Structure 1
Amino acid sequence: MTTGAVALQHPSPTFHNVQGVICREVQNVLPIVGTLAVLEATADAQEQLVDEALALDGEQSTDGEKRIKEGDPYGAVLWPAAWATANFLLTKPNFINNLSSMSVLELGTGTGLVSLAVAMAGARRVLATDYEPLALSLVDYAAKNLENSIQIPIEKQLLDLCDLGTPLPKGFDLVVAADIMYEPKTGMAMAHRVVEALQNNSQVVVGDSPGRAGRPVFLRTLQDLGVRGEFEDAIGMTCSGPRHDLICGKDSKSVSDVPQELPVAILHLEPKSLQKIR
Protein backbone atom coordinates (compact mmCIF):
# COMPACT_ATOMS: atom_id res chain seq x y z
CA MET A 1 0.00 0.00 0.00
CA THR A 2 1.19 3.52 -0.69
CA THR A 3 1.18 5.46 2.54
CA GLY A 4 1.56 9.09 3.46
CA ALA A 5 -0.27 11.85 5.27
CA VAL A 6 -3.90 11.30 6.19
CA ALA A 7 -6.09 12.81 3.48
CA LEU A 8 -8.25 15.31 5.27
CA GLN A 9 -10.84 16.49 2.78
CA HIS A 10 -13.40 18.96 3.99
CA PRO A 11 -15.33 21.84 2.52
CA SER A 12 -14.70 25.44 3.37
CA PRO A 13 -17.54 27.90 3.97
CA THR A 14 -15.84 30.11 1.39
CA PHE A 15 -17.43 30.15 -2.05
CA HIS A 16 -16.09 31.44 -5.36
CA ASN A 17 -17.60 32.34 -8.71
CA VAL A 18 -15.61 30.94 -11.63
CA GLN A 19 -17.15 31.74 -15.02
CA GLY A 20 -20.57 31.89 -13.42
CA VAL A 21 -20.12 28.52 -11.69
CA ILE A 22 -20.41 28.78 -7.90
CA CYS A 23 -17.72 26.62 -6.31
CA ARG A 24 -16.73 25.68 -2.80
CA GLU A 25 -13.22 25.15 -1.52
CA VAL A 26 -12.16 21.63 -0.60
CA GLN A 27 -9.06 21.33 1.58
CA ASN A 28 -6.71 18.38 1.04
CA VAL A 29 -3.76 17.48 3.23
CA LEU A 30 -0.76 16.02 1.43
CA PRO A 31 2.87 15.20 2.24
CA ILE A 32 5.42 17.99 1.72
CA VAL A 33 2.89 20.64 0.66
CA GLY A 34 0.51 20.43 3.63
CA THR A 35 -2.97 21.83 2.98
CA LEU A 36 -3.96 22.32 -0.63
CA ALA A 37 -7.30 23.84 -1.68
CA VAL A 38 -9.16 23.01 -4.87
CA LEU A 39 -12.53 24.18 -6.13
CA GLU A 40 -15.53 22.04 -6.99
CA ALA A 41 -18.99 22.99 -8.18
CA THR A 42 -21.73 23.23 -5.56
CA ALA A 43 -24.84 21.06 -5.82
CA ASP A 44 -26.79 23.83 -7.56
CA ALA A 45 -23.92 24.51 -9.95
CA GLN A 46 -23.66 20.80 -10.78
CA GLU A 47 -27.35 20.82 -11.65
CA GLN A 48 -26.73 23.68 -14.07
CA LEU A 49 -23.73 21.95 -15.64
CA VAL A 50 -25.66 18.70 -16.08
CA ASP A 51 -28.47 20.65 -17.76
CA GLU A 52 -25.89 22.11 -20.15
CA ALA A 53 -24.45 18.67 -20.85
CA LEU A 54 -27.91 17.27 -21.61
CA ALA A 55 -28.60 20.21 -23.88
CA LEU A 56 -25.42 19.50 -25.84
CA ASP A 57 -26.58 15.89 -26.21
CA GLY A 58 -29.89 17.15 -27.56
CA GLU A 59 -31.89 15.77 -24.66
CA GLN A 60 -33.21 19.10 -23.55
CA SER A 61 -32.78 22.79 -24.13
CA THR A 62 -31.34 25.31 -21.76
CA ASP A 63 -30.94 29.05 -21.89
CA GLY A 64 -27.91 31.10 -20.95
CA GLU A 65 -24.19 30.89 -21.57
CA LYS A 66 -22.65 27.42 -21.48
CA ARG A 67 -19.62 26.89 -19.27
CA ILE A 68 -18.63 23.50 -20.68
CA LYS A 69 -17.62 22.78 -24.26
CA GLU A 70 -17.75 19.01 -24.65
CA GLY A 71 -20.73 18.24 -22.41
CA ASP A 72 -18.58 16.74 -19.64
CA PRO A 73 -19.38 17.99 -16.10
CA TYR A 74 -17.26 15.33 -14.32
CA GLY A 75 -14.18 17.54 -14.05
CA ALA A 76 -16.07 20.12 -12.00
CA VAL A 77 -15.84 17.94 -8.87
CA LEU A 78 -13.03 16.16 -7.04
CA TRP A 79 -12.48 12.39 -7.42
CA PRO A 80 -10.64 9.97 -5.10
CA ALA A 81 -7.74 8.98 -7.36
CA ALA A 82 -6.58 12.58 -7.62
CA TRP A 83 -5.49 12.66 -3.98
CA ALA A 84 -4.03 9.15 -4.17
CA THR A 85 -2.03 10.02 -7.28
CA ALA A 86 -0.71 13.23 -5.75
CA ASN A 87 0.17 11.34 -2.57
CA PHE A 88 2.01 8.71 -4.65
CA LEU A 89 4.13 11.37 -6.35
CA LEU A 90 4.91 13.10 -3.05
CA THR A 91 5.91 9.96 -1.15
CA LYS A 92 7.98 7.99 -3.68
CA PRO A 93 11.70 8.85 -3.28
CA ASN A 94 12.43 8.72 -7.01
CA PHE A 95 9.91 11.52 -7.53
CA ILE A 96 10.46 13.54 -4.35
CA ASN A 97 14.24 13.63 -4.79
CA ASN A 98 14.04 14.70 -8.44
CA LEU A 99 10.87 16.79 -8.60
CA SER A 100 12.69 20.12 -8.73
CA SER A 101 14.21 19.10 -12.06
CA MET A 102 11.10 17.43 -13.48
CA SER A 103 8.52 18.71 -15.92
CA VAL A 104 5.00 17.30 -15.46
CA LEU A 105 2.13 16.99 -17.95
CA GLU A 106 -1.31 16.16 -16.54
CA LEU A 107 -4.06 14.77 -18.78
CA GLY A 108 -7.68 15.37 -17.80
CA THR A 109 -6.75 17.65 -14.92
CA GLY A 110 -10.33 18.32 -13.71
CA THR A 111 -10.12 20.31 -10.47
CA GLY A 112 -6.33 20.24 -10.80
CA LEU A 113 -5.34 18.61 -7.51
CA VAL A 114 -2.38 16.70 -9.00
CA SER A 115 -1.05 19.65 -10.99
CA LEU A 116 -1.40 21.97 -8.01
CA ALA A 117 0.32 19.47 -5.72
CA VAL A 118 3.42 19.00 -7.86
CA ALA A 119 3.61 22.73 -8.54
CA MET A 120 3.48 23.42 -4.79
CA ALA A 121 6.13 20.75 -4.22
CA GLY A 122 8.53 22.51 -6.56
CA ALA A 123 8.30 20.82 -9.96
CA ARG A 124 10.32 22.63 -12.62
CA ARG A 125 7.37 22.90 -15.00
CA VAL A 126 3.69 21.87 -14.88
CA LEU A 127 1.23 21.78 -17.78
CA ALA A 128 -2.40 21.00 -16.91
CA THR A 129 -4.58 19.86 -19.80
CA ASP A 130 -8.27 19.09 -20.20
CA TYR A 131 -10.83 19.23 -22.99
CA GLU A 132 -13.20 21.33 -20.91
CA PRO A 133 -12.28 25.02 -20.54
CA LEU A 134 -14.04 25.14 -17.16
CA ALA A 135 -11.56 22.64 -15.70
CA LEU A 136 -8.62 24.81 -16.75
CA SER A 137 -10.36 27.85 -15.26
CA LEU A 138 -10.78 26.01 -11.93
CA VAL A 139 -7.09 25.14 -11.86
CA ASP A 140 -6.04 28.67 -12.78
CA TYR A 141 -8.31 30.21 -10.14
CA ALA A 142 -7.10 27.83 -7.43
CA ALA A 143 -3.47 28.59 -8.27
CA LYS A 144 -3.89 32.35 -8.27
CA ASN A 145 -6.65 33.13 -5.76
CA LEU A 146 -6.65 30.45 -3.06
CA GLU A 147 -4.12 30.17 -0.26
CA ASN A 148 -1.93 27.67 -2.08
CA SER A 149 1.81 28.27 -2.06
CA ILE A 150 2.39 27.62 -5.76
CA GLN A 151 6.10 27.66 -6.55
CA ILE A 152 5.76 28.12 -10.33
CA PRO A 153 3.06 29.26 -12.76
CA ILE A 154 0.89 26.36 -13.93
CA GLU A 155 0.54 26.29 -17.70
CA LYS A 156 -2.86 25.35 -19.18
CA GLN A 157 -3.80 23.86 -22.53
CA LEU A 158 -6.98 22.49 -24.07
CA LEU A 159 -6.36 18.88 -25.06
CA ASP A 160 -8.75 16.02 -25.76
CA LEU A 161 -6.92 12.83 -24.78
CA CYS A 162 -9.35 10.84 -26.97
CA ASP A 163 -8.34 12.84 -30.05
CA LEU A 164 -5.40 10.63 -30.96
CA GLY A 165 -4.75 12.72 -34.05
CA THR A 166 -3.49 15.48 -31.77
CA PRO A 167 -0.10 14.53 -30.33
CA LEU A 168 0.84 14.99 -26.70
CA PRO A 169 3.12 17.91 -25.91
CA LYS A 170 6.69 16.63 -25.85
CA GLY A 171 9.59 17.28 -23.53
CA PHE A 172 7.96 16.18 -20.26
CA ASP A 173 9.65 13.92 -17.74
CA LEU A 174 6.34 12.71 -16.34
CA VAL A 175 2.84 12.28 -17.80
CA VAL A 176 0.13 11.76 -15.19
CA ALA A 177 -3.62 11.15 -15.22
CA ALA A 178 -6.10 10.49 -12.42
CA ASP A 179 -9.68 9.22 -12.64
CA ILE A 180 -10.14 9.71 -16.36
CA MET A 181 -11.19 6.18 -17.33
CA TYR A 182 -14.86 6.50 -16.50
CA GLU A 183 -15.83 5.26 -19.98
CA PRO A 184 -14.38 2.46 -22.15
CA LYS A 185 -13.43 4.96 -24.86
CA THR A 186 -11.30 6.98 -22.45
CA GLY A 187 -9.65 3.79 -21.20
CA MET A 188 -8.73 2.79 -24.75
CA ALA A 189 -7.50 6.29 -25.56
CA MET A 190 -5.45 6.44 -22.37
CA ALA A 191 -3.65 3.22 -23.32
CA HIS A 192 -2.57 4.83 -26.59
CA ARG A 193 -1.51 7.96 -24.71
CA VAL A 194 0.59 5.86 -22.31
CA VAL A 195 2.49 4.31 -25.21
CA GLU A 196 2.88 7.73 -26.83
CA ALA A 197 4.29 9.15 -23.58
CA LEU A 198 6.72 6.23 -23.18
CA GLN A 199 7.87 6.74 -26.77
CA ASN A 200 8.47 10.38 -25.83
CA ASN A 201 10.77 9.11 -23.06
CA SER A 202 8.35 10.15 -20.29
CA GLN A 203 7.50 8.25 -17.15
CA VAL A 204 3.77 7.65 -16.72
CA VAL A 205 1.62 7.51 -13.58
CA VAL A 206 -2.08 6.67 -13.86
CA GLY A 207 -4.44 6.68 -10.88
CA ASP A 208 -7.85 5.00 -11.03
CA SER A 209 -10.70 4.60 -8.54
CA PRO A 210 -12.63 1.34 -8.19
CA GLY A 211 -15.36 0.44 -10.63
CA ARG A 212 -14.29 2.60 -13.54
CA ALA A 213 -15.63 1.11 -16.77
CA GLY A 214 -12.55 2.07 -18.75
CA ARG A 215 -9.93 0.18 -16.75
CA PRO A 216 -10.41 -3.31 -18.26
CA VAL A 217 -10.32 -1.83 -21.78
CA PHE A 218 -7.25 0.22 -20.83
CA LEU A 219 -5.33 -2.85 -19.67
CA ARG A 220 -6.33 -4.97 -22.67
CA THR A 221 -5.42 -2.22 -25.12
CA LEU A 222 -2.15 -1.53 -23.34
CA GLN A 223 -1.18 -5.19 -23.65
CA ASP A 224 -2.22 -5.25 -27.31
CA LEU A 225 0.10 -2.27 -27.86
CA GLY A 226 3.03 -4.18 -26.37
CA VAL A 227 3.15 -2.83 -22.82
CA ARG A 228 2.53 -4.90 -19.73
CA GLY A 229 1.75 -2.93 -16.62
CA GLU A 230 0.19 -3.76 -13.29
CA PHE A 231 -1.75 -1.44 -11.03
CA GLU A 232 -0.63 -1.43 -7.40
CA ASP A 233 -2.96 -0.86 -4.48
CA ALA A 234 -2.87 2.59 -2.90
CA ILE A 235 -4.82 4.41 -0.24
CA GLY A 236 -7.35 6.91 -1.48
CA MET A 237 -10.14 8.76 0.24
CA THR A 238 -13.79 9.04 -0.63
CA CYS A 239 -15.13 12.49 -1.40
CA SER A 240 -17.79 13.95 0.84
CA GLY A 241 -19.21 16.78 -1.21
CA PRO A 242 -22.60 16.74 -2.95
CA ARG A 243 -22.77 14.88 -6.27
CA HIS A 244 -25.48 15.07 -8.89
CA ASP A 245 -26.87 11.62 -9.71
CA LEU A 246 -25.80 11.97 -13.35
CA ILE A 247 -22.26 12.88 -12.30
CA CYS A 248 -21.88 10.19 -9.67
CA GLY A 249 -24.40 7.37 -9.29
CA LYS A 250 -26.05 6.69 -5.95
CA ASP A 251 -24.19 3.38 -5.56
CA SER A 252 -20.78 4.88 -6.29
CA LYS A 253 -17.95 3.98 -3.92
CA SER A 254 -16.31 7.35 -4.57
CA VAL A 255 -18.54 9.36 -2.25
CA SER A 256 -19.52 9.06 1.41
CA ASP A 257 -20.99 11.37 4.03
CA VAL A 258 -17.66 11.41 5.88
CA PRO A 259 -14.33 10.81 4.06
CA GLN A 260 -13.22 7.19 4.38
CA GLU A 261 -10.24 5.23 3.12
CA LEU A 262 -10.81 3.79 -0.34
CA PRO A 263 -8.59 1.34 -2.25
CA VAL A 264 -7.32 3.13 -5.32
CA ALA A 265 -5.05 1.71 -8.02
CA ILE A 266 -1.83 3.33 -9.26
CA LEU A 267 0.09 2.34 -12.39
CA HIS A 268 3.69 3.53 -12.80
CA LEU A 269 5.58 2.86 -16.02
CA GLU A 270 9.01 3.96 -17.20
CA PRO A 271 10.22 4.26 -20.82
CA LYS A 272 12.35 1.15 -20.38
CA SER A 273 9.18 -0.92 -19.91
CA LEU A 274 8.37 -0.26 -23.56
CA GLN A 275 11.93 -1.01 -24.66
CA LYS A 276 11.97 -4.35 -22.86
CA ILE A 277 8.90 -5.55 -24.74
CA ARG A 278 10.08 -4.50 -28.19
Structure 2
Amino acid sequence: MSVPAGFFARHTRLVRPPLVPEVALHLADDVAVLWQAMEDQGRVDGVPGPGEASPFWAAAWVGGQGLARYVLDTPGLVAGRTVLDLGAGSGLVAIAAALAGAERVLASDVDPYALAVMPLNAAANGVAVVEPVGDVLDDDLPEVDVVLAGDVFYDLRMADRVRPWLFTAWARGAAVLVGDPGRSQLPDGLREVAGYDVPDSGVDVARRTTVWRLP
Protein backbone atom coordinates (compact mmCIF):
# COMPACT_ATOMS: atom_id res chain seq x y z
CA MET A 1 0.00 0.00 0.00
CA SER A 2 1.00 3.64 -0.41
CA VAL A 3 0.55 5.91 2.60
CA PRO A 4 -0.73 9.31 1.39
CA ALA A 5 1.81 12.11 1.29
CA GLY A 6 1.53 14.34 4.29
CA PHE A 7 -0.12 11.77 6.59
CA PHE A 8 2.79 11.67 9.04
CA ALA A 9 3.22 15.45 8.97
CA ARG A 10 -0.44 15.85 9.97
CA HIS A 11 -0.62 13.18 12.65
CA THR A 12 2.85 12.93 14.20
CA ARG A 13 5.64 15.19 15.35
CA LEU A 14 9.39 14.77 15.60
CA VAL A 15 10.26 13.60 19.11
CA ARG A 16 13.53 12.59 20.75
CA PRO A 17 12.98 9.54 23.00
CA PRO A 18 14.14 10.23 26.56
CA LEU A 19 16.72 7.44 26.70
CA VAL A 20 17.99 8.05 23.14
CA PRO A 21 17.99 11.81 22.55
CA GLU A 22 20.43 11.38 19.66
CA VAL A 23 17.56 10.07 17.52
CA ALA A 24 14.51 12.01 16.27
CA LEU A 25 11.35 10.08 15.34
CA HIS A 26 7.90 10.84 13.95
CA LEU A 27 5.74 9.78 16.92
CA ALA A 28 2.14 10.39 17.99
CA ASP A 29 1.10 12.22 21.13
CA ASP A 30 -1.97 9.97 21.40
CA VAL A 31 -1.84 6.54 19.74
CA ALA A 32 -5.63 6.14 19.99
CA VAL A 33 -6.18 9.39 18.07
CA LEU A 34 -3.67 8.26 15.46
CA TRP A 35 -5.44 4.89 15.13
CA GLN A 36 -8.67 6.73 14.36
CA ALA A 37 -6.88 8.94 11.82
CA MET A 38 -5.59 5.80 10.08
CA GLU A 39 -9.15 4.44 9.93
CA ASP A 40 -10.43 7.74 8.54
CA GLN A 41 -7.65 7.86 5.95
CA GLY A 42 -8.64 4.43 4.76
CA ARG A 43 -12.23 5.51 4.17
CA VAL A 44 -11.21 8.67 2.30
CA ASP A 45 -8.44 7.34 0.07
CA GLY A 46 -9.05 3.61 0.01
CA VAL A 47 -5.93 2.95 2.07
CA PRO A 48 -6.23 -0.04 4.41
CA GLY A 49 -6.76 1.06 8.00
CA PRO A 50 -5.10 -0.62 10.97
CA GLY A 51 -8.06 -2.89 11.79
CA GLU A 52 -7.56 -4.18 15.31
CA ALA A 53 -3.81 -3.67 15.19
CA SER A 54 -2.35 -0.83 17.21
CA PRO A 55 0.11 1.51 15.43
CA PHE A 56 3.07 0.26 17.46
CA TRP A 57 5.45 2.29 15.26
CA ALA A 58 4.08 5.56 16.65
CA ALA A 59 5.57 5.20 20.14
CA ALA A 60 9.10 4.67 21.47
CA TRP A 61 8.72 1.42 23.42
CA VAL A 62 11.05 0.93 26.36
CA GLY A 63 12.69 -2.25 25.09
CA GLY A 64 13.61 -0.55 21.83
CA GLN A 65 14.92 2.48 23.65
CA GLY A 66 17.18 0.32 25.81
CA LEU A 67 18.44 -1.62 22.83
CA ALA A 68 19.11 1.57 20.84
CA ARG A 69 20.96 3.04 23.81
CA TYR A 70 23.14 -0.06 24.08
CA VAL A 71 23.94 -0.01 20.36
CA LEU A 72 24.98 3.64 20.48
CA ASP A 73 27.11 3.03 23.58
CA THR A 74 28.66 -0.14 22.12
CA PRO A 75 29.29 0.77 18.46
CA GLY A 76 31.76 -2.07 17.95
CA LEU A 77 28.80 -4.43 17.99
CA VAL A 78 27.51 -3.16 14.63
CA ALA A 79 30.22 -1.00 13.04
CA GLY A 80 30.98 -2.15 9.51
CA ARG A 81 28.44 -4.97 9.72
CA THR A 82 25.09 -5.92 8.21
CA VAL A 83 22.34 -5.60 10.80
CA LEU A 84 18.71 -6.69 10.93
CA ASP A 85 16.27 -4.79 13.15
CA LEU A 86 13.39 -7.23 13.72
CA GLY A 87 10.01 -5.66 14.49
CA ALA A 88 11.55 -2.30 13.69
CA GLY A 89 8.44 -0.12 14.12
CA SER A 90 9.58 3.49 13.80
CA GLY A 91 13.11 2.36 12.96
CA LEU A 92 14.61 3.58 16.25
CA VAL A 93 17.00 0.66 16.71
CA ALA A 94 17.83 0.53 13.00
CA ILE A 95 18.71 4.23 13.02
CA ALA A 96 20.84 3.78 16.14
CA ALA A 97 22.72 0.99 14.37
CA ALA A 98 23.29 3.24 11.36
CA LEU A 99 24.53 6.07 13.57
CA ALA A 100 26.86 3.58 15.28
CA GLY A 101 28.49 2.75 11.94
CA ALA A 102 26.62 -0.26 10.54
CA GLU A 103 27.34 -0.78 6.86
CA ARG A 104 23.79 -1.91 6.04
CA VAL A 105 20.64 -2.10 8.15
CA LEU A 106 17.54 -4.09 7.22
CA ALA A 107 14.52 -2.82 9.16
CA SER A 108 11.76 -5.44 9.20
CA ASP A 109 8.13 -4.85 10.10
CA VAL A 110 4.72 -6.15 9.01
CA ASP A 111 2.94 -2.79 9.31
CA PRO A 112 2.89 -0.80 6.02
CA TYR A 113 2.69 2.46 7.97
CA ALA A 114 5.89 1.51 9.80
CA LEU A 115 7.60 0.74 6.50
CA ALA A 116 6.47 4.14 5.19
CA VAL A 117 7.64 6.17 8.19
CA MET A 118 11.07 4.55 8.48
CA PRO A 119 12.60 6.44 5.51
CA LEU A 120 11.28 9.72 6.93
CA ASN A 121 12.84 8.95 10.30
CA ALA A 122 16.10 7.85 8.68
CA ALA A 123 16.23 11.10 6.68
CA ALA A 124 15.51 13.15 9.81
CA ASN A 125 18.63 11.61 11.34
CA GLY A 126 20.83 11.89 8.26
CA VAL A 127 21.33 8.16 7.73
CA ALA A 128 21.07 6.45 4.35
CA VAL A 129 21.79 2.77 5.06
CA VAL A 130 18.40 1.80 6.57
CA GLU A 131 16.40 -0.43 4.20
CA PRO A 132 12.76 -1.12 5.17
CA VAL A 133 11.71 -4.72 4.51
CA GLY A 134 8.53 -6.62 5.30
CA ASP A 135 7.99 -9.74 7.39
CA VAL A 136 11.10 -11.97 7.35
CA LEU A 137 9.98 -14.62 9.82
CA ASP A 138 8.54 -16.93 7.16
CA ASP A 139 11.35 -16.39 4.65
CA ASP A 140 14.91 -17.65 4.41
CA LEU A 141 17.12 -16.03 7.01
CA PRO A 142 18.84 -12.97 5.50
CA GLU A 143 22.63 -12.93 5.54
CA VAL A 144 23.26 -10.62 8.47
CA ASP A 145 25.92 -10.32 11.13
CA VAL A 146 23.73 -8.91 13.92
CA VAL A 147 20.04 -9.28 14.77
CA LEU A 148 18.48 -6.66 17.05
CA ALA A 149 14.96 -7.30 18.38
CA GLY A 150 13.25 -4.70 20.56
CA ASP A 151 9.88 -5.44 22.22
CA VAL A 152 9.09 -8.46 20.05
CA PHE A 153 7.86 -10.63 22.93
CA TYR A 154 4.75 -8.57 23.62
CA ASP A 155 2.31 -11.47 23.23
CA LEU A 156 2.40 -15.26 23.08
CA ARG A 157 1.59 -15.58 19.38
CA MET A 158 4.39 -13.25 18.33
CA ALA A 159 6.79 -14.85 20.81
CA ASP A 160 6.12 -18.30 19.36
CA ARG A 161 7.04 -17.00 15.89
CA VAL A 162 10.11 -15.05 16.94
CA ARG A 163 11.73 -17.44 19.41
CA PRO A 164 12.84 -20.22 17.00
CA TRP A 165 13.79 -17.66 14.35
CA LEU A 166 16.19 -15.91 16.72
CA PHE A 167 17.78 -19.18 17.82
CA THR A 168 18.25 -20.13 14.16
CA ALA A 169 19.92 -16.78 13.46
CA TRP A 170 22.25 -17.33 16.41
CA ALA A 171 23.04 -20.91 15.34
CA ARG A 172 24.04 -19.58 11.92
CA GLY A 173 26.54 -17.19 13.45
CA ALA A 174 24.68 -13.91 13.97
CA ALA A 175 24.97 -11.99 17.21
CA VAL A 176 21.43 -11.75 18.61
CA LEU A 177 20.35 -9.08 21.10
CA VAL A 178 16.91 -8.47 22.55
CA GLY A 179 15.57 -5.34 24.25
CA ASP A 180 12.71 -6.04 26.66
CA PRO A 181 11.47 -4.90 30.09
CA GLY A 182 11.04 -8.50 31.24
CA ARG A 183 7.87 -9.82 29.64
CA SER A 184 6.79 -13.34 30.57
CA GLN A 185 7.20 -14.57 26.98
CA LEU A 186 10.97 -14.02 26.95
CA PRO A 187 12.78 -17.26 26.08
CA ASP A 188 15.15 -19.07 28.41
CA GLY A 189 18.85 -18.98 27.67
CA LEU A 190 19.31 -15.21 27.44
CA ARG A 191 21.97 -13.39 29.42
CA GLU A 192 21.71 -9.80 30.57
CA VAL A 193 24.28 -7.39 29.14
CA ALA A 194 22.81 -4.01 30.15
CA GLY A 195 19.94 -2.44 32.04
CA TYR A 196 18.40 1.03 31.95
CA ASP A 197 15.81 3.07 33.79
CA VAL A 198 13.65 4.63 31.09
CA PRO A 199 11.87 7.93 31.86
CA ASP A 200 8.21 8.26 30.95
CA SER A 201 8.03 7.81 27.18
CA GLY A 202 4.30 8.27 26.73
CA VAL A 203 3.90 4.49 26.50
CA ASP A 204 4.96 3.27 29.92
CA VAL A 205 5.61 5.03 33.19
CA ALA A 206 9.32 5.09 34.07
CA ARG A 207 10.52 1.51 34.31
CA ARG A 208 13.52 -0.73 34.06
CA THR A 209 14.36 -2.33 30.74
CA THR A 210 17.07 -4.82 29.90
CA VAL A 211 19.23 -5.74 26.94
CA TRP A 212 19.71 -9.48 26.62
CA ARG A 213 22.10 -11.48 24.46
CA LEU A 214 21.61 -14.96 23.11
CA PRO A 215 22.93 -17.10 24.63
- Fold in common (TM above 0.5): yes
Q: Give the deviation of 1:193 after TM superposition.
A: 1.4
Match of 1:41 in 2: 28
Deviations 1:164-207 (A, max 9, x none): x32332x2110011012111111222211111211331110001
The equivalent residue for 1:234 is 195
**2:76 corresponds to which of 78, 91, 97:** 97
Change (3 A) 1:268 1:40: same
Q: Which residue number corresponds to residue 133 of structure 1?
A: 112
* Change in 2 beyond 3 A, CA 1:71/1:194: same
Which residue of the partner structure matches residue 141 of structure 2?
Answer: 168
Matched, 1:155 2:151: no
Residues 123-177 of structure 1 deviation map (CA, whole Å, 9 limit, x = unaligned): 1110101000111212111112x2x132x3211111164xxx32332x2110011
Partner of 2:12: 23
The answer to whether the 8 A contact 1:172-1:202 is kept is yes
Task: Say if 1:85 and 1:207, in contact at 8 Å, map to a contact too.
Answer: yes
* Unaligned stretches of 5+ residues in structure 1: 1-15, 56-61, 244-253, 274-278
Considering Cα pairs closer than 8 Å and 6+ residues apart, tell me whether 1 or 2 has the greater RCO: 2
Residues 201-229 of structure 1 deviation map (CA, whole Å, 9 limit, x = unaligned): 1110001124x3xxx3342xxx5xxxx22
Aligned-residue offset at 1:71: 2.8
Give ranges in structure 2 of 5+ residues lacking alignment: none
* Mapped partners of 2:52, 2:81: distance in 1: 31
Runs of 4+ aligned structure 1 residues displaced above 6 Å come to none
Can you list the C-alpha shifts for 1:99-145, whole angstroms capped at 9, x where unaligned?
Answer: 3321110111011111011112211110101000111212111112x
CA gap of 1:168–1:113, structure 2 versus 1, over 3 A, is same
Q: Is the radius of gyration larger for structure 1 or structure 2?
A: 1
Q: Deviation per CA, 1:11-43, whole angstroms, max 9, x where unpaired?
A: xxxxx9446861111114778xx6210111232
Superposition pairs of residues 213-252 of structure 1, within 5 angstroms: 216-219=184-187, 223=188, 228-231=189-192, 234-241=195-202
Query: Following the alignment from structure 2 to structure 1, what is the Cα–Cα distance between the partners of residues 65 and 76?
Result: 20
Number of equivalences:
208
TM superposition shift of 1:98:
5.3
Residue 92 of structure 2 corresponds to residue 113 of structure 1 = yes
CA RMSD in angstroms, aligned pairs only: 3.0
Provide the rounded CA distance (Å) in 1 between the counterparts of 2:19 and 2:185.
31
- 2-side partners of 1:266 and 1:118: how far apart? 15
Inter-partner Cα distance in structure 1 for 2:213 and 2:145: 13
Aligned residue number for residue 63 of structure 1 = 43
Amino acid at match of 1:195: F
- Percentage of matched positions with identical amino acids: 25
1:217-255 per-residue CA deviation (whole Å, 9 max, x = no partner) reads 342xxx5xxxx22345510414443x6xxxxxxxxxx23
- Check 1:30–1:72 CA distance in 2 against 1; reply closer, same or farther (3 A cut): closer
Matching residue's letter, 1:149: G
The 1-side partners of 2:116 and 2:104 are apart by: 18
Rounded Cα–Cα distance in structure 2 between residues aligned with 1:209 and 1:202: 23
- Give distance in 1, aligned partners of 2:107 and 2:52: 17
Quick check: 2:68–2:92 contact (8 Å CA) kept in 1?
yes
Aligned pair 1:83/2:65, yes or no? yes
